[in-house]
Each structure stands twice: as C-alpha cells, then as structure tokens.
Structure 1
Amino acid sequence: MTAVTSPSLLEVLRTRAKSSGSAPAFVDVRSGRQLTYDALHATALALAVRLRTHGIERNSVVALVANDVTVFPLLAACSTLGAQLAVIDTSLHPLEIAANLDHADPKLVIASGELASRLSGSGRPAVDLASFTAPPDANVPSEEPASGQSRLIIYTSGSTGSPKGVVLGESALTANARSVASTYELSEADRLLCVLPFYHMNALMITGWAPIVAGATTVVAPLFSAATAKSYWATVAEYGVTICSLTPSIMSALLKLAEQDPPGPLPATLRLIFCGAAPLRADLWKRFQDFVGVPVHQGYGLTETTCWASMTPPLRPSSDEAEQERLFETVGVPVDCEIRVSSTDKSTDDLVFGESSRAGSDEGQEPTAAEAIPVGEVQIRGPLLMDGYYRNKAATRETFTSDGFLRTGDLGYFDAHGLLRIVGRRKEIIIKNGINIVPDEIDGVLRHFPGIAEAKSVGLPDDVLGELVCSVCVTKEGVAPPRAAEIRRFVREHLAAFKVPDRIVFAGHIPKTPTGKPRTGEIRRIVNGELADELLSRLDTWKFKRAHPSDRDQILERFQTGLLSGQGITFVAYWGCGRRESLADPDREALERLREFISLADRRPYAPSKLVLICTDVHAAINGKGQALAAGYFGQVGDYARRLGFDTVWLSELWTRAGQDLQAFLAGELKPSESTGVSFEQVRDELVERAEKHSDVHAAEEAARMYYDACQLDAVAVQHAFEDAVFLTYNGPAASFTLPRLPTMYIYSYKRKRTEKPWFM
C-alpha cells in the first residue's frame, strides 16, 4: 500500500486521483451511482466553487443534514476555504435537528428533499443536496485554490439540553485514517461494505477516509435493518466485499438470522471484519468469528478521538490459540497515540502505553506478567484528538488534562500483554445500535409528562441492540402509573425514535447518593434483576439455610418489588414460647443471627430490609402456657428484637385483623374453611408426637387437631397482613403445612447446622 501523508483532505483526494483515478472510491448500492477517485476530487473542487458563491469563507459553518457520500468531497471542499462542516444526524427528531442547527449557526444548510424545503421554510439558509451537487454548467478550473484547514463538527447528542459539538481538524482525520489503513494493510484491492450512517464517526472513518487513504473501494448499502438483514451476505458476494464494518448488535442479528436460515458458504473474498461503535462481548466475538471464518477486529475510541485510538492487532500466521484468546474482551493496543490509565485514587502511579512515554522516551512502557496493573480512567493523547467542543470552552477545559490527555470517562487497564481492557464507563451514555444516547435528554422529556415526578433512564444489556433504553419513572403522589404506550408516544413527539424507551419501569423512588445524584449503577442493577439475584445469593448459602427455598423465583420477584418500591424487602418469622419465662442465651444468639441474615439484604437508605417477628401466642394458648408466662417471655423477646431493629406483632392481633376470633376458636366455634393442601390424617402422628412434648392442658390428640386447625387460620391471617413478604422458618420443608402460604426460606436457628427452636431450649 502506498502511504498517503498529506495533511490536507483535498491533497489526499488529489493524490488518490493521480494514482487511482478511474478506480471506484464509492459504489452506492442505493442509487446505483459510482464515484471514482477522479470524480471524487473533481466534485470537491466544484463544491468549493459553489460554497464561495454562497458566501462561505474561513471559519464559516456549513451544515449537512443527509446521509450521503457527498460528505467526503464536501469536507475536502471546505478545506479550500478553511470552513467548518457540521454533519447532523438525520434520524433525530425535528426539534433536535433544529437545536443542533441553532447551536452550529450555519451560514448554509445542505439537506435532502423534503427536509431542505422544511428547513428553508423555517427561515434557515437551506439548499437541496441534489441541486447543490449537480454537475456544473462549465468546466471546473483545473488549478486548485490554496488549501486551508477545514474542521468537522460532529454532534455527540441531540438536544433538549445543550448540544455538544466535537470539532475535529483535518490533521486528526488524516492521522486516524492512516492509522487504520496501515494497521490492517488496506489496499486498492479491498472493498469495504458500509451499512452504517455517515453522520457517525465509525462510518466516516472506517468506511470513509481510511479506505480513501488506501485507495480502496467502499460499497455503500442501505442502513442495516430487519428488512435488509436477509440480503446482507448476498450483497457481500455480489460486490466482492473483502472487509465488513459492523457493530455488536448487527453481528448478533446476523447470527440469529443464520440460525433460522443458514446462508450457506460465505464469500471467499471476505478477509476481515471490523467491529466498533459499542463494546464487543467475548462470547459474541468468538461465535461470530467462528461463523465467518475470518478474523474479527475491534477498535476503541470516542468521537473526541476521531475514531479508533486502540485496535486489536492482526495476528501473525504463527500465532497460537492462546494468543487469539488473549484478544477477546480487549480493545487492543494504542495506535499512533498514547493511552494512559490514570489511577482514580492516586494510590498508584499512572501508566502510559503507546508511541511515547511521559518521560519522553521513544517507546512506551512494556508491561510484565508480574505487574499489578490497576484499573483507572483511560486517557488519550495524540494527533487524533479533537480540537475541542464547539462554542463550549468550559467543557473543553474539563475534558483535557493539563498535560494534554483527553479524559474519556471510561475505566480500564492494560493487562500483562499490553492489551487495553475497558471495564466500565464513568459516563452514563447509552449505546444502542452503536449510537450514543444521552439519558438526560430522555429524562428531561419524561419529567414533563403529566403525573411523572422523577425519571432516570439507563442502558440495559441486549443481545440485538447492544443496550436498550430503560426508563425508571416515579409518579406523583396519588397518581396511578400511566400506560407505557402513552409515555412512549409523548417521548416520540419530542425526540428521535431510537431514543424512545424500550422498557418503562414504575418505581417508588430513584436511589440517590447523599448529594442527591442518581445512583445509575444501582438503578441498572435493580431494574435488570441483578441486585435482587445478588441479595438472594448472599442469603441462600449453607451458612444460613438448612434446605433450599420453597420457590426461588417467587422470592426473587418479591426482592425485586421491594427494591423498586423503595420499601425494601420484608421478612416475617414465627417466634414461639416454651416453658421459660425469660430470655436465654439461645434466644439472643438466634436473634443476633437473624440480624446478620437480614443485614445482607439491606440497601439503606433507599431500600432497608425489615424483619417482623410474629409472637405465636395462639400456639402458646393451645399448649396451655399461661398468659402471664407468654406475655413476660414475648415482652423480653420484643425488647431485644427492637434493639436489633426488628418489629414484633402477636399472632392473635393478626387473627383479629383478618376477622378471626381466638376465643371462638378455643371454644371450638371457629373452624378453618380451607387447608394448606395436607390433610390432618396425613400428619396426625407427627402432630400428636409434638403435642405430647409441648401441650400442658389438652390431650395430645385434641391438642394436635387444634394446632392443625390453628395453622390453617394462621396462614390466612399472615397472608392477609404480609402478602408481599418472604417467610423465614426454623422448620424443614416437611413441615410446610404448618406455615403461611408465602415463599419460604428454611434456616438454621442459633448457629449453623442447629435446627432446635431456641424458645424450647
């Protein structure tokens, strides 16, 4: 490959026109149009003339509101004038497009078809793309005007708030294009397939300036969608594509489609797959690479770094399987830049990898397997960096360090092989289908929906989309949750369709930090069920349990309900009465153990866990325990329990709330209308044996029958009072007929592997 070192984009096109003139730079499947390198260069010169006729000069802003290959010669044309080109996302809501244009304040807007008419009608200086790029009436002067320095402005978000325009100079664009082209040895023989929009940097660079620098051809197909997915591999074959540029969500969709309708052997021309715009999970990476049979390479970067700052390096032919495995879940190595992992707590030194180290040596640091490389913020320095944020000096200052590194907001580390691994994001950007979505935009709209007091949107993992938008909404006091369809319709009236929440969850609160900031990570873990599962896993261990829970899924559901509502998780448990009048060590030990258990599910301050001890005075009465004895013992239990943060209630109180009269029961006038599903005859012998040990008044047979009937009435009363609770018991599953009809966890009593009830000890 002949390297192109020209700093100007116009010079890049001129150089390519001389060496690859009649070769196609772009083949547009949508229109059937083919643009050669000669035509690409000539178009740039013609557009420069037209820009001048519209008064475009140095530092003027031209806005392009279209997904079209014209973006490349138009940016080069701006180079002749030192003008700036703002590329606007056409998939945005009209209000968002207007907000971006207001911020860019262009002297000229170039848009396609109806959009041009609408923008022109709103008083903007808009022209139609087709007429603006039509062949000139006269020959374009062959002599090129002196080259200026153009700048590209890419908006990283639409905006009901403040738009953020990333300003990229020509030197950053050409530097990054050369880095990609040289790393993967792009050449005139390559054909890259583009199914991504040119208003995002991935397509602009990976299937735009990088192949232009190399003299390759980009095949521009319709944007990837469910409608185009089935013809994807046919397009690859028809146009002899050698490199596909994809996102994780597209890869996932192609794999699912292949499972339903196998495409047959893939084209032999294919040699590489590029993946960017969103994190690529190792499992998807491996599966897709096995499917296509060619290497899949991932790059990492931000709009602020032009495109890819790090790339997974091509493997040598002699590379073994272990070397390939090491690449998965990494984003490769720095290419023509420095990447620093800056310690977040400053307990360790910052580590810099790349073309030069902080000490000014010619080579970056080399890691060793023995090094403990810490996680920190990923920071980048090099020629690929943006100039700054358009008309936002404060944001620019905050983004750059004093020594010129760009703060990415991502957390990562370099492993022992010098490969960068990204482990999280400080920023809360949602990446859906490779497109960045700022959740604050969605939340701002949701808060204007009637009846919604608070909202917080987060990204949740999705096999197809990469991340889906989940909006957690808190309604105003006394307002019933509105229909999700109504909320989505409201958001769609204000924002682009891809920003409309995919999932809406109603909650009683938004978890916040002490300073009032939403706990985004915690919210995400709550709504996707991860936190509920983690809390149950803490409790469902053999340190506490004597048997597996009765219904794990139902328990998880109740954990989830408690976390979402902000009421926390409620546990209830019976506490009986033996012959002792006062608290003893086994009681205290068992209560302390319960506190340890409950604390593992506590999420104070926003979702505290709670335990209610039900003092079973009804059972004590059946067994003939005196009222004074029971009152004295339960009183001491209650005092100790309250010191530990527990609530207590007497079982007879629950009976009363449920409309059940204890005295009528003791007199034989109240019988249960339903049972737990186990008849008295089935458990008679067991209950009689218990009654012989504990009943001081009634004959064993009579006491056993009374206890059985009481348990059926207990179940109704407890269910009535604690329908969303989880029940804890020292009994085993065989005694479930004596328990309330609640999901149940079977636990040890005062210590591990001890099942004796402490009140009987």
Structure 2
Amino acid sequence: MTYRKRWDTIPEMVLSAADRFGSAEAVVDGPLRLSYVDLADRIRSAAGAFGEFGVSKGDRVAIWAPNSAEWIIAAIGLLAAGGVLVPVNTRFKAEEAADVVSRSGAKAVMVQPGFLGQDFTTGLDVPSIDLTSDFLTSATAFDREPREWLNGDDVADVIYTSGTTGRPKGVMMNHAQTLRLYEEWCDLADLREGDRYLVVNPFFHTFGYKAGCLASLIRGATILPVPVFDPDAVVDLIDAERVTMLPGPPTLYHSLLAVSDKTRLCSLRAGVTGASDIPVELVRRVHAELPFQTLATGYGLTECGTATLSRPGDSFDDVATTVGMPCDGVDVRIADDGEVLVRGYSVMQGYLDDPDATAEAIDADGWLHTGDLGDVTGGGRLRILGRKKDMFIVGGFNAYPAEIEGFLLEHPAVAQVAVIGVPDDRLGEVGKAFVVVRSGVETPSAADLLEWSRARMAGFKVPRYVQFLDELPTNATGKVVKSRLH
C-alpha cells in the first residue's frame, strides 16, 4: 500500500470535509444534528474563541469531559487555532486529573460540570471553561487556513498513559502521523462514507478520538458520541439511528449477544475490537447471531497508535487469537526476551518533558519497547502472550499495579500490598489486591478498603477483590514474586 498524503494537518482535513461531504450528517448528539458544513462553521467559531482567549501556536489546552459534539468542536477548534490537545480521562478523580493538567502545562481546561457526579474544577490551578457554555460559539470565526501556518510535524496532541512507575506520561503525536495511520485504519476496519458510527470508546482514549472521531471525519461517516456506556441506551441508538459501525471492547459484544430482540440490531455491519483477550467462541457467536459482516481486531498503544490490524477474510481463530498484521510503514519484531517491539512513522515524538523516559521507551535504533510479550505466527500475524510490565486491562482500560499499589499504601492500615489482574467474564480482567496490615493496627474489612479506594482512584483501577496475608511472597532480593499470588 502506497500512502498518498492529502492533508498536512488534522484541522485542514476536518475543514475540507465541508466541501467533500457537504450536507451529510457529521455528528448526531441527542437532538443536535450537524452537517459537515455546520461542523466546519462551529469549528471556525471555536478556533476564534481560543484565539481570543489567548491560545497561540503550541499552547496546550486540556479537555476533561465526556464524549459529545462539543468535545469534538472544542478539540478540532483548538487545533485550528494552533493549540495542542490534552485529553483527560473522565474516570480520574480530581487529584489524578489535576496532576496531569499541571504537568501538561495546559493554559486552560474545558470541563463539563457534574458529569459522573464529579466537581471537575477541584484542585485545578488553571482556568476552567464550561464546555456547555457559549464559549465555543460567541467569538468571531477564525479566518486563517491551517495550511498557511501549521505543519504536519507540529505536535497535535498529548495523550497521557500510565507507565510502570504508575505516574502518567504525556505521549506527543504530530498531525501527519495521525492522519496517515487512521486513513489506513479506515480501509482495514471497513469504515465507509455514509456509515453511522456509534462511538462508545471514550474520546480521551486513542481508540475513541482517533479511531473514532478522526477516522469518521476522514471517511465521511456520521459520529454518534456516547458519554457513558449503557447497554439499553446503546441498543436504542442502534435501532433509532440505523448504526452501521460499532467498535469497542469485547464486553460490548457480550452485551449485544444478550439482546433478546436482535432485529433491533439489523443495521450493524462492521466492528473492531481489541484491548483484551477474545474467546474464539465469542467471535463465532458474533458472526452467527449478530449482523456484523466484519469483526476486526487490532493491537496498539498510545505511544504508537494502532500497530497491527486483522485483514478482511481472516478466520475466526485468527481474529480471536492474534491481533493481525502490522500496518503499512510499521515494523513489528520480537526481542530475544519475547518483548514486542514496534518501529515506524507512527511511533510517538516522545514523552512530554521526560527525555529519560523517552530514551527508555525508544531505543537508539528507533524501536519502541511496548512492555508486552508476544510472538509472530507463520502467517505473519502478531500474537500477544502476556504483559511484561504486569499491566492488566479492565474493560478496555489499562490498569497498572504499581499505580494502584501506590494509592493503597496511603491507607493508614496498609503496610504492604501487591496487585495483580485476575480473569473476569465481563471485563476480561479485574484487580485483586494482596494486603499486609500494619502491626498493631486493626485489620479493615475488604469492603471498607474498597470503599476507601473508590474515593481516591478511577473506578477501573479499584481492585475487585482483597485478600489479607501475613506476608507477601518474596525472592532472595526481597522483590515480591507475583507469580505466586493468585
């Protein structure tokens, strides 16, 4: 496949969609229906608002809000004004979000007050702007064309991901690499002009923002944002809006298989999954019981976007047990210790303000060390075997034991703790914490410890199970041997 560049920057691509797709629906969000022309107009107004606010080229602005039309308008409007987007996980508690916003150097934070019952302004040391206010619509439209002053190698976004130390790191990606990768994604995932794409993956995640919003705008599909996944509401939207494209984690497809009246799902044509192991039987059932013509699977990281995807015609076994083959221009190899390495144009520009972590992640030959273990089948497909960094995935969200352990160690009764991922039928994996209580302190109940945890960390990070031990298993050097925990 030979890539032919059509645009230099993301806002150039999005604004050109007004000419390419005109009156076709671009976004449907509840009663709000925007054509591609409408969307371009609102993006220019939003760009003007950011300009009047004082955003200059390279300035970063965070968005800490759920999936919505306003999120899309704010994000692309910011890019059109020359800004850099910093999406923030809406499942973060205030302290977690404030840390990310502070270290990103964001000039402001766009928030949706009250979402999930959170006060999204607590602890922030920069101005917060209500995403639902008239901020995005009150300014004079921005009249500079992106190609006049923005370049493909300008950083477009900084998306934070946790590392093995548990502290999130800001992954920098530029416009050109994002556009190239997700234009190919459209082909491999079978996203078509006129598709109606229900985006259940959160916009703060690469899967939701890039493989969701940007892919739709590249191809001319209609975006239907979903702020919170609710199976009944999703089925209602599929039925009412004739949804054709529905990517998501395996839990999404389990929910669809449980729908009693499957005629309400008859419009569905294509899906893409990943993020956790997929039983072969699930893939067979999706094809047998649901109307999907294609169900693709892939593998990626925030640090390199989508690295591999399955191909049309792959067998049930291939889709379930491998994550496909490398995308064009992306190389994948297995290191001597079994770690999956990725190299190519899509690898990040680096971690924001963290050259040491960047050098640790990307070696001198340009290979990104993913921390995952895998092998390559005889047919050239990548198979993921485990996670070198102890990471586990809860319903599509990466959970890092070191980070969770750090929170739990703040509890006054906890002396030592080790967290592992254990299988879960619905979410793929959930956390289990092994806790050693401080000497002379009353042992808290598991329920009390979990309730304490829910107030301090995102829900997907909170362990599902707690087991109290007299001591943790360690090796001769004192390191906890997690393989002996189960």
TM-score of the superposition, structure 1-length normalised? 0.59
Q: How far apart are residue 137 of structure 1 and its match?
A: 5.7
Q: Does 1:303 align with 2:305?
A: no
Q: How far apart are residue 298 of structure 1 and its match?
A: 0.7
Q: Residue 382 of structure 1 is aligned with which of 319, 335, 344?
A: 344
Equivalent position SS for 2:303? helix
Q: Structure 1: how far apart are the matches of 2:157 and 2:407?
A: 29
**2:392 aligned residue:** 430
Q: How far apart are residue 75 of structure 1 and its match?
A: 3.6
CA contact (8 A) 1:150 1:169 kept: yes
Q: Structure 2: how far apart are the matches of 1:423 and 1:497?
A: 26
Q: Residue 210 of structure 2 is aligned with which of 198, 201, 205?
A: 205
CA contact (8 A) 1:250 1:464 kept: no
**1:10 aligned residue:** 11
- Equivalent residue runs for 1:585-734 within 5 Å: none
Q: CA-to-partner distance for each residue in 1:285-341, whole Å, 9 max, x for gaps?
A: 2233322142321111011112x21111011xxx8xxx4434331111111233332
Q: Structure 2: how far apart are the matches of 1:72 and 1:220?
A: 9
CA contact (8 A) 2:262 2:290 kept: no
Query: How much is the aligned-residue C-alpha RMSD, in angstroms?
Result: 2.6
**1:698 aligned residue:** none
Q: Structure 1 residues 141 and 402, CA, compared in 2 at 3 Å: closer, same or farther?
A: closer
- Equivalent residue runs for 1:225-374 within 5 Å: 228-255=230-257, 257-258=258-259, 262-294=260-292, 295-306=294-305, 308-315=306-313, 323-345=315-337
Q: Structure 1 residues 158 and 396, CA, compared in 2 at 3 Å: closer, same or farther?
A: closer
Q: How far apart are residue 417 of structure 1 and its match?
A: 1.1
**2:464 aligned residue:** 502
Q: Structure 1 residues 201 and 38, CA, compared in 2 at 3 Å: closer, same or farther?
A: same
Q: Which runs of 5+ in 1 are unaligned?
A: 346-375, 528-761
Q: Structure 2: how far apart are the matches of 1:217 and 1:475?
A: 53
Q: Structure 1 residues 69 and 305, CA, compared in 2 at 3 Å: closer, same or farther?
A: farther
Q: Percent identity?
A: 30
**1:19 aligned residue:** 20
Q: Structure 1: how far apart are the matches of 2:452 and 2:19?
A: 54
Q: Residue 187 of structure 1 is aligned with which of 177, 187, 192?
A: 192
Q: Structure 1 residues 514 and 283, CA, compared in 2 at 3 Å: closer, same or farther?
A: farther
Equivalent position SS for 2:411? coil
Q: Structure 1 residues 303 and 99, CA, compared in 2 at 3 Å: closer, same or farther?
A: same
Q: Structure 2: how far apart are the matches of 1:161 and 1:412?
A: 23
Letter in 2 for 1:233: V
Question: Which shows bigger deviation, 35-44 or 128-137?
Answer: 128-137
Aligned length: 476
Q: Residue 127 of structure 1 is aligned with which of 126, 129, 139?
A: 129
Q: Structure 1 residues 313 and 283, CA, compared in 2 at 3 Å: closer, same or farther?
A: same
Q: How far apart are residue 11 of structure 1 and its match?
A: 1.2
Q: Structure 1 residues 507 and 314, CA, compared in 2 at 3 Å: closer, same or farther?
A: same
Q: Structure 1 residues 498 and 166, CA, compared in 2 at 3 Å: closer, same or farther?
A: same
Q: Structure 2: how far apart are the matches of 1:103 and 1:234?
A: 40
Letter in 2 for 1:451: A
TM-score of the superposition, structure 2-length normalised? 0.90
Q: Highest relative contact order (Cα 8 Å, sep 6+), 1 or 2?
A: 2
Letter in 1 for 2:241: Y
Q: CA-to-partner distance for each residue in 1:73-107, whole Å, 9 max, x for gaps?
A: 43433434442211111221111111111211211
Letter in 2 for 1:309: A
Q: Does 1:472 align with 2:434?
A: yes
Q: Structure 2: how far apart are the matches of 1:419 and 1:150?
A: 31
**2:104 aligned residue:** 104
Q: Does 1:113 align with 2:85?
A: no
Q: Structure 2: how far apart are the matches of 1:61 and 1:137?
A: 20
**1:538 aligned residue:** none
* Bigger share in helix: 1
* Runs of 4 or more consecutive aligned structure 1 residues displaced over 6 Å after TM superposition: none
Q: Structure 1 residues 477 and 344, CA, compared in 2 at 3 Å: closer, same or farther?
A: farther
Letter in 2 for 1:378: V
Q: Structure 1 residues 80 and 254, CA, compared in 2 at 3 Å: closer, same or farther?
A: closer
**2:95 aligned residue:** 95
Q: Structure 1: how far apart are the matches of 2:63 and 2:390?
A: 28
* Bigger share in strand: 2
**1:364 aligned residue:** none
